[in-house]
Amino acid sequence: MEEKKKHSLLIVDDEKTYLMELTKILSPEYEIYAAKNGADAIQTALELSPDVILLDIVLPDMDGYEVIYYLKSDERTHDIPVIFVSGLTEVDDEERGLHLGAADYITKPFSPGIVKLRVLNQINMVEQLRRIEQLSMTDQLTGLPNRRSFDERLNAEWRQASREKKPISILIIDVDEFKNYNDTFGHQQGDRALQALALAFDKAPKRPVDFVARWGGEEFIVLLPLTDYDGSLEVAEQIRRNIEELVIPGSSGPESKITVSIGLNTWRPGDEFTLDKFISGADTALYNAKDKGRNKIWHFI
């Protein structure tokens, strides 16, 4: 069984004694990164994205208040919980740290047990938030990413394709005559058909960068970065054929089959496409595939 990856902590303290003590306390349970000044702390947080940061206030180059200000101002580090671990024991010091967005405040000298529990509290909250985020990005019926998840991925891949002048393709896939299917076999069987269709995507050629999502209803969408027209047509045909050959078992009734129509669009360097036109072009191509008899692939011209 694969060993579970440890959560990571960034400890920021210029005093070697405290840095070593915190490392000794926490290293059995966590992957430890260390920084001795504010600039290194910010850079390490950006590069390694630790799960939690333990931050001293008194540092040689900038104080911990400045560090947390920078961390909370950058979207890449904004959500990392920061626990101040400081020798400043005045209420005003703690209040200022919490006001700037710290998740907790531990005073030196500290109890190892308290440090472990405070860190564990933050790790548990991080895990809970990640589970909630994952649920919000997943279609509950099929287990595929949902439209929100796809929109985020599409925006990132579109920017990269535009920046690097690389082709990118998109497929919009719609189940043919799905209303009739539901009317014939029932909505529960319709759900089974969508679940079976989602599993069929795994049988098509797929790279780590390719992304499949449920677009809504009986529509699915596939993003193919670094893929030209020929490559996307090959993937689309494999998907269409896999689904055409798919046999969907009934819970107590007969087996059934479905087909899909696919609209395809490819952006190439030099094309005057906006992102909206990129999607609407595939949607137009899908309409044409339906209009030409269904169970077909159509490319936007």
Active site residues: 218
Q: Tell me the one-letter amino acid at 251.
A: S
From the list 133, 130, 108, 131, the residue with the least C-alpha distance to 54 is 108
Q: Where are the alpha helices (DSSP H) in the chain?
A: 16-26, 38-48, 64-73, 91-99, 112-136, 147-164, 178-185, 187-200, 229-244, 275-291
Count other Cβ atoms within 10 Å, centred on residue 152: 12
The answer to whether 177 and 188 are in contact (CB under 8 A) is: no
Q: Tell me the one-letter amino acid at 191.
A: D
Q: 297 - beta bridge partners?
A: 262
C-alpha–C-alpha distance, residues 55 and 87, integer Å: 11
The two structure tokens encoding residue 100: 């700037």
From the list 50, 106, 39, 40, the residue with the least C-alpha distance to 77 is 50
